[in-house]
C-alpha cells in the first residue's frame, strides 16, 4: 500500500507535459507517377515537378517539423505512405525522429492526412465521409500518454475552392460527430486539422458558399458557438451538451491567423477540445498554451508567408507552405482555470466601452438602434441621449432604422475614435422615432463628444473645414469622394461626428450632401 501511495505521489509531483501541433505542408508529392496526382504535380511534365523539387520540399518540411519539436503532429497534404516514410527518414537523419506514424489510405484521393508521434500509437481507424474520389477520410488514432489513452481525430475538410460550398464541409462534420457520439462518456479526444473554415465562420460565411441556410460545419455541427458566442471554458465546464472549445479563442483577434491567400489572412486550421480535456482527470489542456509557430524564415521579405514556389506554371525549389503550424500543450496535471482579468457589468452599455482599452471577453448590448449605416460601417446608440459607438467594417447585415441585441467581440481606438470592429447581432424590431437620435445645429449647440450623427447642416466649404452660422468645423470626405471647391455652399443631409486626432465631421457617401451654390 505504501508503495502504491508513493507511486501516486510521484505521478502528481511530476506530471507529463507534451505538445500537439498541426501543419498543412502544402502538397508534399513524390516524383513517382501514381495516377491520382494533381495535374501540376505529375512528375517531369511541363510544370517542372521532379526529383529536385521533391527533395527540396522534403528538406523544408523536415526543417519546420524539427524546429517545431512537437511530440505529436498532424499533417495535411501528404501524398501517400511512401512520402510519409521518406519524411520520417529525413527527420531521423537530422536528429528529429518520430518512431510512430499513421496515414489515411484512400487510393483515389490525391493527398492524405497523416500523423507523427513520439508516443506509441495503440490503434488506427479511418472515418469514411463518403465514397467520392476527392473526399478525404478522417484519421482517428489512439495514443498512449503515460498509460492514458488519448484519441486524436486528424482532419482535412473540403476547401472553398472549386465549388466548395458549406454543405461539403457539413458532410465531414456530421461524419465526425456521429463517430464521437459513439465514444464512452468522458473519453478524452482532440479534433485537429485543416477544417477550411474560419473560427467565426458562423458570422463570416460568404453568400456564394452559403448553401445551408447559414448552418456551418465548424460553428453549428461541431458546436464551437452558442447563442452566437464562441464557446469559452466556463460554458464548456458548466454544460453537458455536445460542445467544443476552439483554442483560437485564447489569442487576441489580431493574432488569430495562420494562413494567407492573396494577402488575406484566415484561421482555417484548428484544435478543438471537449469538456473531458479540462475536467481535471487523466490528460488536460494547459491553459493559454495555444500559439502559432512563426519563425522569421517562414516569411518572405514582404512579410507574406513564404509558401512553396509556383510561378508562371512552373515549380521552383523554394519556400515552405501557405500555412503556419499551430501548437497546443497538454499535461497529465489537472487543468488550471483562468482568473477573469476584467470585470464587465452584467448590463453592459456603450458608455462602459469608452472606459476599456480592449475586451478580454465579449460584451452584449441590449436593444440598441442602428441610426446610421453606410456600406459596412454603422453607428449605434441605446437611446437618443446616450453615447454612440462606430461599427467599423463589421455592420454588413445590419439595417438602418432597426433595433438589435448586439454582441461586441472587439473594440479599439483609431486615432482617438472609439470603434467596435467585430460584432454579431440579433434583430429585435424597428426603431421608434429615428429622427430623435440625430443632432442639429438649430440652437448652435454642438456636441463635443464623438460618435454622433448630425443632420441637415448648411455651410461653406473652405480648405477642409465647413463654415456654418454656429462656427467652423473640420470636415473629411471619405471613400474617394471629390470634396467641394473652396467657397462652395453645401448642405449635409448626414455627417458622422468622428475623431481623427481631433473632432471632425465625416461624410461617407456622395448622396449625403448637395451643392446649394458653386
321 in the same domain as 358:
no
408 in the same domain as 280:
no
* Any domain includes 126: yes
Domain boundary (273, 301, 331) is at: 331
The pLDDT tens digits of the residues spanning 8-21 come to: 444 444 679 999 99
Domain boundary (415, 435, 455) is at: 435
91 in the same domain as 180:
yes
* Any domain includes 385: yes
H or E element, residue 494: strand 489-499
Whether the CB-CB separation of 423 and 394 falls below 8 Å is answered with yes
* Any domain includes 316: yes
* Any domain includes 117: yes
As a whole number of angstroms, the distance between CA 368 and CA 376 comes to 17
Closest Cα to residue 13, out of 5, 2, 25? 5
Residue where the block lists cell 454603422: 378
Q: What pLDDT shows up at residue 14?
A: 62
237 in the same domain as 316:
yes
The CATH number of residue 105's host domain is 3.60.10.10
Beta partners for 330? 18, 285
Helix (H, G, I), strand (E, B) or coil at 140: strand
423 in the same domain as 293:
no
* Any domain includes 221: yes
Quick one: 145 exposed, middle or buried, by C-beta within 10 A (0-12, 13-18, 19+)?
Answer: buried
**Whole-prediction pTM:** 0.77
Closest Cα to residue 73, out of 136, 113, 117, 28? 117
Q: What proportion of the chain, given as a percentage, has pLDDT over 90?
A: 75
95 in the same domain as 71:
yes
Q: Which domain holds residue 96?
A: 14-331
Question: How is residue 299 annotated by DSSP?
Answer: B
Domain boundary (400, 435, 470) is at: 435
As a whole number of angstroms, the distance between CA 193 and CA 60 comes to 20
* Any domain includes 341: no
Per-residue pLDDT of the chain (518 residues; tens, 9 = 90+): 554 444 444 444 467 999 999 999 999 999 999 888 999 999 999 999 999 999 999 999 999 999 999 999 999 999 999 999 999 999 999 999 999 999 999 988 999 999 999 999 999 999 999 988 889 999 999 999 999 999 999 999 999 888 899 999 999 999 999 999 999 999 999 999 999 999 999 888 888 999 999 999 999 999 999 877 789 888 899 999 999 999 999 998 889 999 987 778 999 999 999 999 999 999 999 999 999 999 999 999 989 999 998 888 999 999 999 999 999 999 999 999 876 444 444 457 899 999 888 887 778 899 999 999 999 899 999 999 999 999 998 888 899 999 999 988 889 999 999 999 888 888 899 999 999 999 998 878 777 899 999 999 999 999 999 999 989 999 999 989 999 999 999 999 999 999 998 999 999 999 999 999 76
Whether the CB-CB separation of 124 and 102 falls below 8 Å is answered with yes
448 in the same domain as 383:
no
* Any domain includes 49: yes
The CATH number of residue 374's host domain is 2.40.50
H or E element, residue 176: helix 166-181
CB hemisphere CA count around 310 (13 angstroms): 15
How many structural domains comprise the chain?
Answer: 3
Helix-then-strand count for the chain, H and E: 7, 30
* Any domain includes 2: no
200 in the same domain as 285:
yes
96 in the same domain as 32:
yes
356 in the same domain as 327:
no
63 in the same domain as 145:
yes
As a whole number of angstroms, the distance between CA 495 and CA 439 comes to 10
As a whole number of angstroms, the distance between CA 333 and CA 85 comes to 33
The CATH number of residue 513's host domain is 2.40.50.140
255 in the same domain as 158:
yes
Amino acid at each position: 500500500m505504501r508503495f502504491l501511495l508513493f507511486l501516486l505521489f510521484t505521478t502528481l509531483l511530476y506530471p507529463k507535459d507534451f505538445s500537439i501541433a498541426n501543419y498543412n505542408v502544402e502538397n508534399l508529392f513524390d516524383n513517382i507517377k501514381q495516377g491520382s496526382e494533381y495535374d501540376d504535380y505529375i512528375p517531369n511534365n511541363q510544370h517542372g515537378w521532379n526529383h529536385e523539387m521533391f527533395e527540396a520540399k522534403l528538406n523544408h518540411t523536415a526543417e519546420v517539423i524539427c524546429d517545431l519539436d512537437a511530440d505529436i503532429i498532424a499533417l495535411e497534404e501528404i501524398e501517400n505512405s511512401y512520402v510519409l516514410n521518406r519524411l520520417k527518414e529525413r527527420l531521423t537523419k537530422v536528429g528529429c525522429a518520430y518512431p510512430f506514424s499513421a496515414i489515411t489510405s484512400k487510393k483515389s484521393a490525391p493527398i492524405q492526412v497523416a500523423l507523427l508521434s513520439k508516443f506509441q500509437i495503440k490503434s488506427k481507424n479511418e472515418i469514411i465521409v463518403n465514397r467520392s474520389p476527392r473526399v478525404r477520410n478522417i484519421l482517428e488514432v489512439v495514443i498512449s500518454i503515460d498509460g492514458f489513452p488519448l484519441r486524436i481525430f486528424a482532419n482535412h475538410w473540403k476547401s472553398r475552392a472549386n465549388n466548395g460550398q458549406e454543405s461539403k464541409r457539413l458532410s465531414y462534420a456530421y461524419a465526425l460527430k456521429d463517430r464521437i457520439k459513439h465514444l464512452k462518456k468522458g473519453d478524452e479526444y482532440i479534433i485537429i486539422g485543416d477544417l477550411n473554415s474560419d473560427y467565426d465562420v458562423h458570422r463570416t460565411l460568404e453568400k456564394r458558399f452559403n448553401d445551408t441556410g447559414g448552418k456551418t460545419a465548424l460553428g453549428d455541427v461541431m458546436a464551437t458557438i452558442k447563442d452566437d458566442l464562441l464557446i469559452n471554458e466556463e460554458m464548456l465546464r458548466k454544460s453537458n451538451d455536445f460542445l467544443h472549445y476552439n483554442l483560437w479563442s485564447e489569442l487576441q483577434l489580431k493574432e488569430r491567423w495562420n494562413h494567407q491567400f492573396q494577402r488575406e489572412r484566415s484561421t482555417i486550421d484548428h484544435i478543438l477540445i471537449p469538456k473531458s480535456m479540462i475536467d481535471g482527470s487523466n490528460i488536460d489542456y494547459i491553459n493559454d498554451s495555444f500559439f502559432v509557430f512563426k519563425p522569421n524564415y517562414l516569411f518572405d521579405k514582404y512579410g507574406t508567408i513564404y509558401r512553396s514556389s509556383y510561378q508562371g506554371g512552373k515549380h521552383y525549389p523554394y519556400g515552405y507552405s501557405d500555412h503556419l503550424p499551430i501548437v497546443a500543450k497538454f499535461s497529465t496535471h489537472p487543468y488550471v482555470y483562468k482568473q477573469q482579468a476584467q470585470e464587465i457589468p452584467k448590463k453592459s452599455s456603450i458608455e462602459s466601452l469608452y472606459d476599456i482599452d480592449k475586451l478580454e471577453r465579449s460584451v452584449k448590448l441590449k436593444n440598441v438602434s442602428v441610426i446610421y449605416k453606410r456600406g459596412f460601417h454603422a453607428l449605434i446608440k441605446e437611446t437618443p441621449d446616450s453615447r454612440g459607438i462606430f461599427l467599423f467594417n463589421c455592420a454588413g447585415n445590419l439595417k438602418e432604422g432597426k433595433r438589435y441585441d448586439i454582441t461586441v467581440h472587439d473594440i479599439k481606438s483609431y486615432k482617438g475614435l472609439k470603434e467596435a470592429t467585430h460584432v454579431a447581432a440579433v434583430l429585435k424590431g424597428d426603431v421608434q422615432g429615428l429622427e430623435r437620435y440625430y443632432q442639429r445645429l438649430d440652437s448652435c449647440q454642438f456636441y463635443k463628444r464623438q460618435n454622433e450623427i448630425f443632420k441637415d447642416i448648411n455651410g461653406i466649404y473652405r480648405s477642409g473645414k465647413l463654415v456654418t452660422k454656429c462656427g467652423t468645423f473640420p470636415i473629411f470626405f471619405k471613400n474617394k469622394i471629390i470634396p467641394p471647391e473652396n467657397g462652395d455652399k453645401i448642405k449635409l443631409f448626414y455627417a458622422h461626428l468622428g475623431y481623427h486626432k481631433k473632432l471632425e465631421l465625416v461624410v461617407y457617401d456622395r448622396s449625403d450632401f448637395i451643392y446649394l451654390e458653386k
